[in-house]
Amino acid sequence: MKVLRAVFLVLLGLFFFIPLLAMARFAFQSVPVVLLTPEKLLEGWSVSGLIEVFGSPEFQKAAFISLQLMLLAIAITLVLLLPVAALVEIRAPQLRTAMAAITLLPWVVPPIALVVGVAATFRNTVPWFLASPYSLVPFYVLWALPFSYRAIDAGLRSIGARTLYEAARVMGASTFTIIVRVIVPNMIGAIIAASVLTAALVLGEFAFAALLLKETLPTFMAEFQRSEPRAGMALALAVMLLTALIIWIGVRALRKRGMDLQAAGV
Amino acid sequence: MRRRFDTATLAVALPFLAFVGLFLFVPTIGLAIKALTPGGSFGFTSLQRALEGSYRTAFVNSIALAVTSAVIGGVIGLLLALSLRSMQRPRWLRSTTDSWSAVASQLGGIPLAFAFIAAIGTQGIITKMLGLVGVDITESGFSLSEFWGLVVVYLYFQIPLMFLVMMPAVGGLRQTWAEAASIMGASPSRYWRSVGLPLLLPSFLGGLLLLFVNSFAAYATAYVLNPGAQIVPLLVRFLLQGNVITGEQDLAYAIILWTITLLLASLLFIAVLQRRTARWSST
């Protein structure tokens, strides 16, 4: 039984690790697989391809757009969601089920579905809206909702937001003051988690941006890999590691506060 | 009597609801209207056509892909959660798996497809290494652009997602229950049959549906591995890019309306199961 379990865990570990390793080799070793022999394993390693991508103006433009989308999506998520989540938890707990249901709906309308609806409605009525890459922001906020709301909700519950609220209220603080000066500073962990999950989503979203012909990091990556397979692979690996790093930071921030990242909706 | 909603709650809830309404409900309802009024007048012809011929094939393929990757990923994810449950010794293992699952369940998309191409694509390093020991995976009919290839790649984010879903439920199984069962003379297998698995079942089924929704909607990975695959997300792309005769947009609306209906039904089912789980674990 113990042996079986160890074998299972090792095989699973290989399944998760090998693709990354293969990716790194392809990205940084300029020896085609066909010519690769055991003697050549250490030849031709270089990161020049990746450095070159970082220098290209197209990459910088796409990365800058993605960075802006990421920050805007995080900002809007927090401004829009945090007060609602806090007040629902504090003053209208009977609405929590409704909030949980609403924030799960983006799961039902994934990017590939919503893009059709957006093309059907917005393209005719407000064509200027879809012209700018920033039009992606509200949709990214939306798809991150199942994750971001659950992170914030878990945070509110773990700090005992209602008790804090009542204590501050008794001492005469206004609702606004309580949220800004009591609730928010106490749930930095949850805020980081919500931001991290939103950031990961923005860094990975491809369908919506591609179909609306917007040049973001993922769409640039797909295009670029076609002309420069090696450097494209290196870039993909870099983005993957960056995503992993961002989420890792979130997990660490949560664990410090005795919480865990919640899977969406479950 | 207390008022149900006070003004402050309303004041912050309204912008939020307006946001969701404008960017989620308006496009979705607009889409539903278009799907139900093909060519300008009310009718079900688009909806009907969306389930015929090659479109039907796409739905069948997508559902098969989603079910297969959900079931395999679900079972492996559950086994992973169970095998880590009682392990104390390498202390890093549990926390690394937790963090890694959080990361991997969010990966996917373009980079993940690239990673698998580099590993087990036709020119992949693993393909080559297996070839050296006499195993030819392309000869055996395996290809990343075919059904099982997509399943293998999807497992990369399905397994960790299931692990994250099952971990709380598996952690909720108390050691005392197993002891109580064994004192009353139950064998370990009897304990799992009568106590353990029934308790895990609602979360497991909920997790399966979540995985189903997750892979049904996946687009980027499949797009890289096989842009011509006959699955729903890629079919929508084909119809939307206007590579077909005019008027086929109606068909895209209808296909999406079916997709949304399917996903919504799955989600409602999850909610029902969730309620059952909550009832079980709170007693």
Q: What is the pLDDT of residues B219-233, one digit of tens each?
A: 889 988 988 888 998
**Measured distance CA(A81)–CA(A92) in Å, rounded:** 15
pLDDT at residue B65 is higher than 90: yes
Q: Which two tokens stand for residue A260?
A: 């865990």
Selected residue with higher pLDDT from B126 and A39: B126
Query: Cβ of A232 and B5 within 8 Å?
Result: no
Question: pLDDT, tens digit, for every residue of B89-124?
Answer: 777 888 788 878 887 887 778 889 999 998 888 888
CATH of A54-256, one of 3.20.20.70, 1.10.3720.10, 2.60.40.10, 1.10.1060.10: 1.10.3720.10
Confidence grade of residue A265 (pLDDT, cut at 50, 70, 90): very low
Residue type, B246: T
B249 touches chain A (CB under 8 A): yes
Q: What interface predicted TM-score (ipTM) does this complex get?
A: 0.85
* B1 within a domain of the structure (yes/no): no
DSSP string, A160-225: THHHHHHHHHHTT--HHHIIIIIIHHHTHHHHHHHHHHHHHHHHH--HHHHHTT---HHHHHHHHH
Its pTM stands at 0.86
Look at residue A66 in the predicted model and tell me its pLDDT. 94
What's the whole-number mean pLDDT along residues A125-151? 88
Residue at B10 is within a domain: no
For chain A positions 155-174, those within 8 Å of chain B (CB to CB) are none
CB distance A207 to B233 below 8 Å: yes
Distance between terminal CA atoms of chain B?
A: 32
Q: Tell me, yes or no, whether B4 lies in a domain.
A: no
User: Would you state the pLDDT for residue A95?
Assistant: 84
pLDDT for the residue A263: 45
Q: Which of residues 107-126 of A touch B (CB under 8 A)?
A: 107-122
Mean pLDDT to the nearest integer, B210-222: 89
Residues A248 and B99: beta-carbon distance below 8 Å: yes
- The pLDDT of residue A12: 92
Structural domain includes residue B19: no
pLDDT band at B28 (very low <50, low <70, confident <90, very high): very high
A83 against B244, higher pLDDT: A83
pLDDT score of B283: 40
- Beta carbons of A240 and B271 less than 8 Å apart: no
In chain B, which among 91-130 make CB contacts under 8 A with chain A? 93, 95, 98-100, 102-112, 114-116, 118-120, 123-128
SS3 B122: coil
What's the whole-number mean pLDDT along residues B17-34? 91
Indicate the Cα dihedral angle B151, B154, B157, B162, nearest 10°.
-40
Average pLDDT across chain A, whole number = 85
* Segment B172-197, tens digit of pLDDT: 788 888 888 888 888 888 888 888 88
Do residue A117 and residue B28 have CB atoms under 8 angstroms apart?
A: yes
Q: What's B199's domain CATH number?
A: 1.10.3720.10
Q: What is the mean pLDDT of residues B82-88?
A: 80
In terms of Cα–Cα distance, which of A219, A255, A254 is closest to A239? Answer: A219
Burial level of B41, CB count in 10 A (0-12/13-18/19+)? exposed
Instruction: For residue B31, give its domain range.
Output: 24-282
**CA separation for the pair B34, A120 (Å, rounded):** 8
Minimal Cβ distance to A263: which of B12, B80, B164:
B164
Burial class from Cβ neighbours inside 10 Å (0-12, 13-18, 19+) for residue B127 reads buried
Amino acid identity of residue B79, one-letter, is L
Nearest-CA neighbor of B224 among A29, A149, A229?
A229
Give chain B's domain count.
1
The first and second tokens of residue B5, run together, are 């909603």
> How many other β-carbons are positioned within 10 Å of the β-carbon of residue A36?
17
Predicted pLDDT of residue A264:
42
Position B55 pLDDT exceeds 90: no
Chain mean pLDDT for chain B: 84
What is the predicted pLDDT for the residue at B247? 61
**B24 CB near a chain A CB, below 8 Å?**
yes
Nearest CA in chain A to B132: A37
Determine the average pLDDT of the residues in B265-281: 74
Find tokens 């949560």 and name the residue: A254
